[in-house]
Amino acid sequence: HLASELALQLEEIVPGTEEAGQLLRRALKDSIEMYGNDHLNTLMTVNNLAVYLDNIGEKPEALKLYRWARDGRMKQLGPTHPYTLDSIYNLASFLLSDNQLAEAKAAFIEARNSCVECFGWNHHGTLDCIERMVDILKAEGNLTEAVEVCKDLLARSTEIHPKDHPQ
């Protein structure tokens, strides 16, 4: 657990460093041996390694790990736990960046709906999912719906942050 967190911090300071990747891979191996594939510590390390691999361009392996983290956290914690939501959002973001729009859209809708259930409509996590939906709608060429969703997002943001609040 500690090695995974330290490796993630190293990755944030020096993106793509090989040392971070080695630490994450070792942490995952150790966590699987100690706890098994579905333990929450293992799933956290899986998620962290997926982020690292995504950052260095190892897309197929990153996708596999994003799905593993999401599926495991869904099973262990349920669909509205913040860790599960983090995994769904990470997977959706990966799919969007990889131009897999249909699956990204479904994942962002799933994340948004679970965020609404967990936190409400005006939570930053919910609003971020809605913002990503605007990106997908634009990429799909659905500009009319993108404008409508964007207006709704702006209205919700204004409710949270008054005009004199620095956003």
What distance in Å separates the CA atoms of residue 97 and residue 54, rounded to the nearest whole number?
10
Neighbours of 32 (CB within 10 A): 16
pLDDT score at 167:
53
What distance in Å separates the CA atoms of residue 88 and residue 107, rounded to the nearest whole number?
6
For the chain, the average pLDDT equals: 90
pLDDT score at 166:
55
The tokens describing 127, both together, are: 């609003």
Helix residue spans in 14-58 (DSSP H): 18-35, 40-55
pLDDT at 42 over 90: yes
Helices (H) and strands (E) in the chain, counts: 8, 0
pLDDT at 100 over 90: yes
Is the model more confident about 65 or about 3? Answer: 65
User: Which stretch of 16-20, 47-51, 59-63, 82-86 has the lowest confidence by average pLDDT?
Assistant: 16-20
pLDDT score at 6:
77
Asked if residues 104 and 136 have their Cβ atoms less than 8 Å apart, the reply is yes
pLDDT score at 50:
95
The pLDDT-based confidence of 33 (bands split at 50, 70, 90) is: very high
Q: Mean pLDDT across the stretch 26-34?
A: 95
Asked if residues 101 and 136 have their Cβ atoms less than 8 Å apart, the reply is yes
What distance in Å separates the CA atoms of residue 80 and residue 121, rounded to the nearest whole number?
14
Asked if residues 52 and 22 have their Cβ atoms less than 8 Å apart, the reply is no
Q: Mean pLDDT across the stretch 2-23?
A: 80
